[in-house]
Structure 1
Amino acid sequence: MTFIHESDNPEELLSIWEKENKDASIFESDEVNFFSGEQNTAKGSLFLAVEYSFIQYYLANKPSIKLLALYFYHDKNIYFTVTASDEFLRTNFSLLSPSFDSIKDFLSNNKLPFLRLDQPLALKPVNIEKPWGQEIWYTGIEQRGISSVTDGIYDSPLPWVLSAAPKRLTAGREKQINLLKILDPAPEPLFGDLYFELHEKKQEVYVVVDIDEQCWPQKIGGMRYGFNDELKNTFSSEKDFHKAYKKAVKKYSKIRQVIDARLDSYRALEGYAFNEALPISVISKWMTLIPDDWIYEEKKLRSELNHFSSILSLKVGDVIKIPLLTPHGLLHGVRVVEFQNPVYERLILSFNQKTLTQDHWDTDKALSIMTERIDPFSELTIIEKNLNHTIEVVAVFDDFKVSRITLSSKSSLSLTADKNYKLLLVIEGSIDCNSIVAIKECGLFLPSYQKEIAIKNINDNQSVILIASPIHN
Structure 2
Amino acid sequence: MSNSSQTTLTVTRLAGEPAAVLSRWLEDAPAEAILLVDFELQQWWLEDSAALPLQAIYCRNGERLLCSVTDKTPAPPEVAACSQFCEWATLNQFAVFESGRALGLEPARIPKPWGQEVWFTGVEERGVCCFTDGQYSCPIPWVQAAAPGAFAGPPAEPLVLLKILDPVPQEVIGDLYFELHEEKREVYVVTHIDPEAWPDGIGGIRYGFDLDRLAESDGDEAFRRDYLAAVQDYERVRRQIDELPEGQAAPSELEEQEQLCRQVMNDFTNMRPLQVGDVVVVPLLMPHSLQHGVRTIEFQTPVYERQILSFAQKVLTQGHWDTVAAVRQMRLTSQEDKAFQLLQSETGITVERIVDFADFEVRRVTISAGGSMALDAAPCYQLLMLIEGCMTLDSLRLEAEEAAFLPRGRPFQLCSSDPMQPLVLLLALPRR
TM-score calculated relative to the size of structure 2: 0.93
Deviations 1:196-218 (A, max 9, x none): 11111111111111111111111
Matched, 1:213 2:195: yes
Contact 2:57 2:69 in 1 (8 A): yes
Out of 418, 424, 429, which is 1:464 matched to?
A: 424
2:117 and 2:148 map into 1 onto residues whose CA distance is 27
- Which secondary structure does the structure 2 equivalent of 1:70 belong to? strand
Q: What amino acid is the match of 1:160?
A: W
Out of 10, 18, 33, which is 2:26 matched to?
A: 18
**What residue is the counterpart of 2:256 in the other structure?**
296
Distance apart, 1:466 and its partner CA: 0.6
Out of 99, 114, 121, which is 2:81 matched to?
A: 99
Out of 332, 356, 369, which is 1:396 matched to?
A: 356
Distance apart, 1:301 and its partner CA: 1.4
Out of 428, 446, 467, which is 2:388 matched to?
A: 428
- Which secondary structure does the structure 1 equivalent of 2:151 belong to? helix
**What residue is the counterpart of 2:125 in the other structure?**
143
Out of 352, 361, 366, which is 1:406 matched to?
A: 366
Pairwise CA RMSD of aligned residues? 1.9
**What residue is the counterpart of 1:248 in the other structure?**
230
Matched, 1:317 2:317: no
Distance 1:170 1:419, change over 3 A: farther
**What residue is the counterpart of 2:213 in the other structure?**
231
1:470 and 1:174 map into 2 onto residues whose CA distance is 16
1:58 and 1:160 map into 2 onto residues whose CA distance is 12
**What residue is the counterpart of 2:46 in the other structure?**
59
Contact 2:224 2:328 in 1 (8 A): no
- Which secondary structure does the structure 1 equivalent of 2:173 belong to? helix
**What residue is the counterpart of 2:13 in the other structure?**
5
Distance apart, 1:99 and its partner CA: 3.1
Matched, 1:179 2:161: yes
Distance apart, 1:232 and its partner CA: 2.3
How many positions carry a matched residue from both structures?
Answer: 423
2:355 and 2:113 map into 1 onto residues whose CA distance is 29
**What residue is the counterpart of 1:195 in the other structure?**
177
Contact 1:206 1:339 in 2 (8 A): yes
Q: What amino acid is the match of 2:22?
A: L
Distance 1:170 1:158, change over 3 A: closer
Structure with greater helix share of residues? 1
1:364 and 1:318 map into 2 onto residues whose CA distance is 32
Contact 1:183 1:336 in 2 (8 A): yes
Q: What amino acid is the match of 2:413?
A: A
Distance 1:6 1:433, change over 3 A: same
Distance apart, 1:144 and its partner CA: 0.2
**What residue is the counterpart of 1:269 in the other structure?**
none
**What residue is the counterpart of 2:306 in the other structure?**
346
Q: What amino acid is the match of 2:288?
A: H
1:253 and 1:4 map into 2 onto residues whose CA distance is 63
1:153 and 1:163 map into 2 onto residues whose CA distance is 21
- Which secondary structure does the structure 1 equivalent of 2:232 belong to? helix
Deviations 1:128-185 (A, max 9, x none): 1111111111001011011111121211111111111264315635413110001111
Distance 1:334 1:350, change over 3 A: same
- Which secondary structure does the structure 1 equivalent of 2:271 belong to? strand
Out of 440, 448, 454, which is 2:413 matched to?
A: 454
- Which secondary structure does the structure 1 equivalent of 2:216 belong to? coil
2:336 and 2:194 map into 1 onto residues whose CA distance is 22
Distance apart, 1:361 and its partner CA: 1.4
Q: What amino acid is the match of 1:149?
A: F
Distance apart, 1:376 and its partner CA: 5.9
**What residue is the counterpart of 1:164 in the other structure?**
146
| Percent identity over paired residues | 36
- Which secondary structure does the structure 1 equivalent of 2:243 belong to? helix
Contact 1:128 1:137 in 2 (8 A): yes
Contact 2:134 2:396 in 1 (8 A): no
Q: Which runs of 5+ in 1 are unaligned?
A: 27-44, 267-285
Distance 1:329 1:143, change over 3 A: same
Contact 2:380 2:409 in 1 (8 A): yes
Q: What amino acid is the match of 1:364?
A: V
Q: What amino acid is the match of 1:251?
A: D
